[in-house]
Structures are given as structure tokens and as C-alpha cells.
Structure 1
């Protein structure tokens, strides 16, 4: 650590100083995550308990166990994890800043922690989206089978949807501190990468500059994917579900009017 700090303060290159500062900041999530998760332990437990209650309610309403296929999501998370860890760890050694072999272990751990945390957020958000799709699919199937006698079933599915909406809100609340910490670190790293890239423009294409380009892309994508998953899940559970319910209601209204006309 003392050696890295001396490189940060003694080097004459502004781009190298930014690179060293970014390396220090990248370890912040590894130090802060235990504290943020500790503060949110109760919220996480409540979320898991409510998810279990949701599973039981789903079985009561549909008569079937809740089956989720997340194999595709997990494959994407694993692939992204291997790619990001490999790229960042390789770049830090190619920068030629005197990193030793053992120093790659904590760096790879910090990169893995950020990638896994982001992947877990995306996987859980996708889970909530799939739940919304399953509930709507089951509701449509029951409506087709029961026809105009589906009022009681619709009320049951409405309560199930309200529980899903509550579960979605609880999901965001249970991980607020953790992901605020990560997004702040990602944003700072993004700004440093842009600043370092601009500072190294007069030196042509170098390994350090290439590292800054990769960092800009990676951290921008990380911020985007976290926000995009949250927005998409909210839309799926909220607006799109309500729109599908409205379409079902319109279908029944039209059918009733046609039957009365005949």
C-alpha cells in the first residue's frame, strides 16, 4: 500500500496519477459492503420472508408450485463475471505500474464483488419480471376457461399482484445502501476514466489510455444496467400489468355488449 501511495504522489504523469487513484477507489466496495449489508440485514430477511409468503399464495391461487427458469440469466451473469474480471485484471498488469502477482488477488476479488453484486441485482429484477409474466399468463388462462364466472378468480389474482408490487418495493428498499455505494463508486470511476483519457490524449494510443477507454465503457454500462433493470421491473410489474388488466376488462366489456345486442 505504501508503494502504491508513493507512485500516486511521486509520478510525473497526470494520467498515471489518475490510474493509481482509480485503483485505490476500486477497493472501496470491498471495505464498505460488509457495513452496508449489515445495516440492511433486517430488510433482506423481510424480503426473503415475503417472497416465501408470495410463493405460498401463488400455490393457493393457481394450485401449482412456483417454477422459475433463471438458467439464461445466470449464464449471462457468469459470462459477464469471467469477462470483466479477466479484462480488468489483465489491464492493471499491462499498465506497467509495478503491480506484483499477489496484488492481482485482492484486485480480482474487488472486481468480482462488484460484478457479482450487479449481476445479483439484475437476476433478482429479472425474477420479478418473470413473476409478473407468469401471473398475467395464469390470469388470462383462468379468464379463458371460466369466462364470465371468473370474478372471484380475478380478485385472487389481484391480491397476488398487489403482493408482487409490495415485493418489488421491498426488493429496492432492502438493497438501497449497498447499491448506492456501488453506483457512487462506479460514477467516480467513470469520471476519473474520462478525465484520465483526456489527459493522455497527447501521448497517442497507449495501454493506459486503452485501459481508460475500457473503464469508461464498463462503468457506464454498470450504471446503465442497474438503473435499466430497476426501471424495467417497475414498468413490468406496474404499468404493463395494469395495461394488460385493462385489455382484459375491455375484452369482457365488448363481449358483454355484443351478447346483450344479440
Structure 2
């Protein structure tokens, strides 16, 4: 009920605004309420695919034990989850209170409708980070065990077993993107929209009033930095995980002296290298986007284009001679 009440108030404020810049500024508070309405579509609808992804982790750990002879360890994982969960809540509170203090028209009582949704947005980023960290740890452990076992005995059977294990890990990476494709596609769209509006609002204030840096501008910059940081974490941890999946085993394969092993082992090494080349470690959101650092450059380019269009539209608007000057 609180969300509906605040949402109604924000929409009424939006409808009463006539000035373009103020309208864009007011949209920010409505945009933050939008995630409430996509949760049933992007969350509940993909539960089956998420279950498949989680189950695949169990199968991978069993195979990992059979191949390496040891359990896959995730050190300090529980402590990390607790710390990140508390941090997500505290960041949401700090973020909303700072916006309330800095941005005009954002009442303290209205923040009650935003705490849980900002926390959820933070937790989505944290969930992705933990999943990517899990894959990164698994990749590092697999690489270390592979290097150790190759030094002991480099045989065709050993290379073959590790090849299938690596393919399982690569499949996990693909399942991660497929399972959460809806969630993080909308997550990226939300971040792009928010950053674009906030940056435009700040630039518009600078164009109108110069580099005065009012509370409003600082609040818009806080919003921009906050959303940009979440987007960077999302893209960067994916990039590091995908890089780790292939690099470790590939480095070990390339250090093997081909002349010192028999013909079947040479063939298995070739098959392993071909498998790495034909199954690149990529996190794809069902083809909508590949999650890596290139996503950041694409986002910057797209946001820059929209900002140019909005600023051109602003410049083309007739000046309001009766508008008050702060």
C-alpha cells in the first residue's frame, strides 16, 4: 500500500509539471518504483531455469571430486554472503537518505516505498557477483589440480577427464546467463535509463546555472555514481570469471612438451585446445547481450547518444521568461 500511495503521489507530481527539465527530473523517482512491477515476470517466471542452474552445480562438484580426488572448496563463502547482505541494506539506506537530503521534492516519508526495492537491486548485483566468484574459484581450483596432475602423470585418460570437467564448467557459465537472462536484461535497462536521466539532469543544471554545484546537482551525481558502480561490478566480475575459465587450463596445456608424450595424449591435448576454442567462456543473456567489459563501453556510447539528443531538444525549447532564477 505504501508503494501504491507513493507511486500515486509521484505520478500526480509528474502530471502537474510543465517544464521539460523538471519533468525529466521527476521521472527519476518514478523509475525507481518500476522494478516492483517486473518482479513477477523476470523473477518468478525463470524459477525452473534457475533450479536447473543450481542443480548443475551439484553435478559439477560430484564430477570434480571424481576427477581431482578432492572436494571443491569455497573459502569464506558464508561470511562473504552475510557481509554483502548487510552491506546491501546499509548502502540502500545511505543512498536514499542522501537523495532525500540533496534532491528537492523527495520527502523523507516517501523513502519508505524505496528501501526494499533499492536493497533488492543491490542484492541482484550481489547475487551475480557471488555466482561469478563461485565460477572463478572453481576455475582456479580446476586449473591448479590440472597443473598438479599433469606434472605427476600426463596421460590421454587424464587429459580427457579434465576436458570433460572443463566443458561442464563452461556449460555452467552459459547456464548462469540463460537462467538470469530476464532478470539482468531488465536490470541493465534500468541502470541505463537511470544513469541517462541523472546525467542529463546534472548537465542541464550546469548549462542553465553554470558550475554552481547545488544540492540538486550533487544528488544527481550521487545517483549516477551509485548506478554506474553497480553496473561496473556486474560487468567486471563477469569479465574476470570468463577470463579465468579458459586461461588456467590453456596455460597448462601449452606448457606440455608434445614430444615427451605418446600419440594418444597428443590427440587429447589437441581435442582439449579445440574444445576451448569452440566453446569460448562467455556469459550471454540469451543472446541479448554478452556480459563483459565491452558492455560498459556499449552503455557509455548509448547513453552519450541519448544525452546529445536530450540536450539538443533542451536547447531547441523556447526560453521561459517568467521562470524563476535560483
Answer whether TM exceeds 0.5 for this pair: yes
TM-score interval (norm. to shorter): 0.7 to 0.9
Q: 1:29: Cα distance to partner?
A: 1.8
For 1:83-102, what aligned pairs fall within 5 Å after superposition? Answer: 84-94=91-101, 95-97=103-105, 99-101=107-109
Q: State the alpha-carbon separation in 1 of the partners of residues 152 and 106 from structure 2.
A: 69
Tell me whether 1:33 sits opposite 2:49 in the alignment. no
- Aligned with residue 196 of structure 1, among 194, 198, 201: 201
Who is 1:185 aligned against? Answer: 190
For 1:1-262, what aligned pairs fall within 5 Å after superposition? Answer: 1-11=7-17, 15-69=21-75, 70=77, 73-74=80-81, 77-78=84-85, 80-82=87-89, 84-94=91-101, 95-97=103-105, 99-101=107-109, 103-146=110-153, 148=154, 150-201=155-206, 202-203=208-209, 204-238=212-246, 240-249=247-256, 252-253=257-258
Q: State the alpha-carbon separation in 2 of the partners of residues 161 and 242 from structure 1.
A: 8
Q: State the alpha-carbon separation in 1 of the partners of residues 166 and 112 from structure 2.
A: 45
Q: So what's the TM-score if we normalise by structure 1?
A: 0.85
Moved more, 174-183 or 70-79: 70-79
Q: Which of structures 1 and 2 has the larger relative contact order (alpha carbons within 8 angstroms, sep 6+)? A: 1
Q: So what's the TM-score if we normalise by structure 2?
A: 0.70
Q: 1:168: Cα distance to partner?
A: 0.7
Unpaired segments ≥5 residues, structure 2: 1-6, 262-326
Q: State the alpha-carbon separation in 2 of the partners of residues 100 and 141 from structure 1.
A: 58
In the alignment of these two chains, the number of paired residues is: 251
Question: Does structure 2 conserve the Cα–Cα contact (< 8 Å) formed by 1:194 and 1:212?
Answer: yes
Q: State the alpha-carbon separation in 2 of the partners of residues 141 and 75 from structure 1.
A: 33
Q: State the alpha-carbon separation in 2 of the partners of residues 15 and 9 from structure 1.
A: 13
Q: 1:144: Cα distance to partner?
A: 2.3
Question: Does structure 1 conserve the Cα–Cα contact (< 8 Å) formed by 2:10 and 2:29?
Answer: no
Q: 1:5: Cα distance to partner?
A: 2.3
Question: Does structure 2 conserve the Cα–Cα contact (< 8 Å) formed by 1:121 and 1:226?
Answer: yes
Higher helix share: 1
The root-mean-square deviation of aligned C-alpha atoms, in Å, is: 2.4
